[in-house]
Structure 1
């Protein structure tokens, strides 16, 4: 067995980690907002209405998991969904 095969995460475990990552209301709200397109952090902050440090922590979790991307436009950071699968999942959850 190759090292890559030994370190590969089973699909059921990857799914569990994905749903655990979604298990926070701020993260869910951010993903709902980003379904309509990319948003700057300042707009997310106004819409989500949490402390900036809390929003920053939750955005970092979403970034690390690869669900959202962040791009800098001057001094503004803009977040977007990394792919359409998440938007589809959020629509199905309604």
Structure 2
């Protein structure tokens, strides 16, 4: 199998950038368009209202990840609240 593309006018794929080997690819160095710059600035500003901390940032999640254990919850396992829970019997 040839390592070169059969058509040299085709751009490299993501596989050809080296990302699959742990090396960074080639970033796009072109400047952002005016609309893209506006969108980026808007995304970098905080939204309206109070932001809640992410669940992923809690100490409970860190402890569960450190122990390689499931995250403890207050929910009772197995309930769907839709009336369709299975009932197991010895019949």
Scaled by the length of structure 2, what TM-score is found?
0.26
Q: Which is helix-richer, 1 or 2?
A: 1
Greater relative CO, 1 or 2 (CA 8 Å, sep 6+): 1
Q: Which is strand-richer, 1 or 2?
A: 1
Rg bigger for which structure?
2
Scaled by the length of structure 1, what TM-score is found?
0.25
